[in-house]
Structure 1
Amino acid sequence: MKFVGYLCLSLCSLQLLANSEQSPLPAERQNVRQYVATIEQANWSVKTATALQCELSHTIPNFGEVSFVSHSGKELNLQFALKMTRMPDDYGLAKVLSVPPAWRAGEQAKAITDFELLKQFDGDLAKKEAWTLLTELEQGFSPTFYFSDWHSPFDQIAASVNPVQFAGPYQKFNQCMAGLLRYTFDDIAMTVLNYQSNSDELTRESAARLKQIAEYLQHDKSIVSVRIDTYTDSYGGRWINEELSRKRAATLKAFFVEAGIEESKIDTEGFGEKRHVAPNDTPRGRGVNRRAVIQLARL
C-alpha cells in the first residue's frame, strides 16, 4: 500500500470512533473511507500574502480544502477552516485527532478537539485549536477529521491533512503574519483629526494617524467613498474660518487622491466655526474644535 498506509487509523482512533455516540457499530464492522493527498499530490500554498490577510491552504483530493487564515488587527489572530466539496447534509461532530507518522511506531494518536459540523456550511476552528493543528503539522503529524457519513449509516469518514511539503509554505505564512498591519478598516473608517492653531497643519498625533490611513489604503482597493468634513474654532473671524476649513478639506482631498482614491469618490465640506463640540473659551476646547472628520466606506 502506498502513502495511504502512512495515515492508516491507529487502534486508538478506531476505538474512539466505536465508543462515540456517532459510531454505534463495533470497530471491526465499520467501513472507514479515507481522504488524503499522496506524496505526489501533497501541496501547500500561501494563497494570500498582504498586510491585511495571510492564508495558508492545502487540498485534500476528492474531499475539499483546509486553510489557516490570519487578518490584520491589534492582536495576533488565527482561524482554521475546512471547506468540503460536498458540505454536510446534517448536523454532527467530528473527532479531530493528530495521527503520528508510520516511523513513530507505537505512538498513539492525540485527541485535539471536537469539530462542529453544520448543515450546508463549512466548518472552522478558533485560534487555540488552529495553532495546535499548525504545531502538530510542523512536527510531522497529520490532523485527521473522523465523522459519520450522513449518507450511509455504516461508513465513517477520515479526512487527513498531509504534512509533506508543509515546512516551506509555513515559513512564508509566518513571515506574512509578522507583516500584518496592527489595525483594521474598522479602526480607521471613522477618524477625527485635529489641527494646530490658525493653520492647516495637523497636530503630530493626527499626522501619524493620517499616515496610518495612507498605509492601509495601499492594500485595500475596495474603498468606494470618502467623506471629509472640516471645522475650526471661533477665533479669527467667521469668513476667515470658513476659508481655512475649506483649505483644510482641500488638503485632505489631495492627500486621498495621491493615496489612490478617485477624486469622484471624495466629498468635502468646510463648516468653519459652526457645530462646535467643545467650549471655545479654553485652549483645550478650541483644540478639540479644530478638527476634520473622515468617514470611509468600502464594498
Structure 2
Amino acid sequence: MIISTLCHGLTFQASVEETEWRLSPSIFECEMVQPIPHYGEAVFYHEAGEDLMFHLKTKKNLMGKGQAALHIEPPIWGPSRFAEDLGLVAVMQTSKPVKVEPNRANHMMQALIQGMQPTFTRKARYDDNEPIRISVSAANFNSFYQDYLGCVSGLLPVNFRQVAKSKVQFKGGGDYLDAPSKKKLDLIILYVKADPSIKALYIDGHSDSSGRRYNNRRLSEQRAVKVTEYMVKKGLDPEMFTTRYHGERYPVASNETRAGRVLNRRVTIRLEKEDEDMEEEF
C-alpha cells in the first residue's frame, strides 16, 4: 500500500506487491476491479451493447466536490516517461464520486497496457490546501487484460435497457415484417433466451387513423399477432406472451401528417423481469 503525504498531497495507491485485479465475467457485463487500500476500488465496467466505462468506488469520498484533474503518469519505477493530461472529470459526493466516459476510459486502459498509471487529483473535501490523489496501479495489468478481452468477446450484443421497450414499424396498410424489423426482433429474442429473469413479453399492435376504425383495429391485431408468431417460431415460449391490439386509439404522433402516420403504424414490445412492475405504455 502507498499512502504518500509528500508535497503533492495525499496519495492512495496499491503498492506493486499488493496490486491485484479481479475480473467478474458474464454474458451481460465484464467488470475489472482493482482494490485501492484505504480508499475503495477502481472499476472498469463494460456492459453488453455499450462501450467501456470507468468509475471510482468508495465508502467515504475524501475529494471535494467539483472537478478532478485526470493525468496519465509514469510509475515510480519508470519516472523518465512523460505524463499526459486527459482533462477534468466531475467529482460528486456519492459512493461513485468519479465516472469516466468511454473515450477516456479506453485511453486509461491503453495507458495501463503501456505501464502508465491513471491518476485523479482534486483538493481535499475538508482541506482546500491539501490535494487528494487516487492512482490506479499498472502492476500485473497485462496478465489480466487477455482475460478481459475474452470476456468482452462473449458479451451479448444488447443489454436489457436496449430491448426492454422496443417497437417495429409497418408500411401503409400492411402487416409485413421487413428485414430491419426482423433484425430488431432477433436481438430481442437472443436476449430473452439468455436472461432467465425475463418472465413476460407484452406485444401491443397499433394503426394510424386512415380508414374505418373497425378495419384499423383488425389491422393492429394482425400486426401484433405477426410479431408474436415470429418470436414464438424463433423459439420463445408462447406462455410468456400477452398480445393486445388497439387500432388508432393510442397515437404517438399526429395523424394529420404523413410522418405522424408512419410513427403510429407500430407494434411495441415490452419485456418484464421477475418482481418488476412495468408501467403501462402503449
TM over 0.5: yes
2:68 is the counterpart of 1:94 = yes
1:69 maps to a residue whose letter is Y
2:43 is the counterpart of 1:67 = yes
2:54 is the counterpart of 1:77 = no
Following the alignment from structure 2 to structure 1, what is the Cα–Cα distance between the partners of residues 239 and 13?
Answer: 48
Asked if 2 retains the 8 angstrom alpha-carbon contact of 1:62 and 1:85, the reply is no
Cα drift, residue 42 of structure 1? 1.4
Q: Which has the larger radius of gyration?
A: 1
1:65 maps to a residue whose letter is E
Match of 1:114 in 2: 88
Change (3 A) 1:92 1:293: closer
2:138 is the counterpart of 1:155 = no
Following the alignment from structure 2 to structure 1, what is the Cα–Cα distance between the partners of residues 77 and 45?
Answer: 30
Asked if 2 retains the 8 angstrom alpha-carbon contact of 1:229 and 1:249, the reply is no
TM-score in terms of structure 2 length: 0.67
Moved more, 76-85 or 170-179: 170-179
Cα drift, residue 8 of structure 1? 7.1
Q: 2:194 aligns with which of 219, 242, 245?
A: 219
Match of 1:24 in 2: none
Unaligned regions of 5+ residues in structure 1, if any?
15-26, 278-287
The aligned runs of 1:264-279 (5 Å cut-off) are 266-269=241-244
2:111 is the counterpart of 1:169 = no
Q: What SS class does the counterpart of residue 14 from structure 2 fall into? A: coil
Deviations 1:155-208 (A, max 9, x none): 33222211112113222223333444444543572233779xx9x996665444
Following the alignment from structure 1 to structure 2, what is the Cα–Cα distance between the partners of residues 107 and 162?
Answer: 15
Asked if 2 retains the 8 angstrom alpha-carbon contact of 1:193 and 1:293, the reply is yes
Change (3 A) 1:209 1:151: closer
Asked if 1 retains the 8 angstrom alpha-carbon contact of 2:70 and 2:87, the reply is yes
Asked if 1 retains the 8 angstrom alpha-carbon contact of 2:20 and 2:34, the reply is yes
Moved more, 36-45 or 101-110: 101-110
Asked if 2 retains the 8 angstrom alpha-carbon contact of 1:88 and 1:118, the reply is no
Change (3 A) 1:181 1:120: closer
Match of 1:36 in 2: 13
Following the alignment from structure 1 to structure 2, what is the Cα–Cα distance between the partners of residues 170 and 67?
Answer: 14
Q: What SS class does the counterpart of residue 145 from structure 2 fall into? A: helix
Match of 1:281 in 2: none
Cα drift, residue 145 of structure 1? 2.0
Q: What SS class does the counterpart of residue 70 from structure 1 fall into? A: strand
Q: What SS class does the counterpart of residue 132 from structure 1 fall into? A: helix
2:29 is the counterpart of 1:53 = yes
1:43 maps to a residue whose letter is E
Q: What SS class does the counterpart of residue 30 from structure 2 fall into? A: strand
Following the alignment from structure 1 to structure 2, what is the Cα–Cα distance between the partners of residues 103 and 114?
Answer: 26
Following the alignment from structure 1 to structure 2, what is the Cα–Cα distance between the partners of residues 93 and 194?
Answer: 48
Deviations 1:87-113 (A, max 9, x none): 357423322222213342433433332
Asked if 1 retains the 8 angstrom alpha-carbon contact of 2:40 and 2:59, the reply is yes
Match of 1:143 in 2: 118
Change (3 A) 1:208 1:119: closer
Match of 2:259 in 1: none
Asked if 1 retains the 8 angstrom alpha-carbon contact of 2:11 and 2:134, the reply is yes
Moved more, 186-195 or 119-128: 186-195
Q: What SS class does the counterpart of residue 216 from structure 1 fall into? A: helix
TM-score in terms of structure 1 length: 0.64
Asked if 1 retains the 8 angstrom alpha-carbon contact of 2:62 and 2:132, the reply is no
Match of 1:18 in 2: none
- Structure 1 residue ranges, 4+ long, deviating more than 6 angstroms after superposition: none
Match of 1:131 in 2: 106
Following the alignment from structure 2 to structure 1, what is the Cα–Cα distance between the partners of residues 85 and 227?
Answer: 59
Calculate percent identity across the aligned residue pairs. 23
Question: How many residues are matched?
Answer: 249
RMSD (Å), alpha carbons: 4.2
Following the alignment from structure 1 to structure 2, what is the Cα–Cα distance between the partners of residues 60 and 133?
Answer: 16
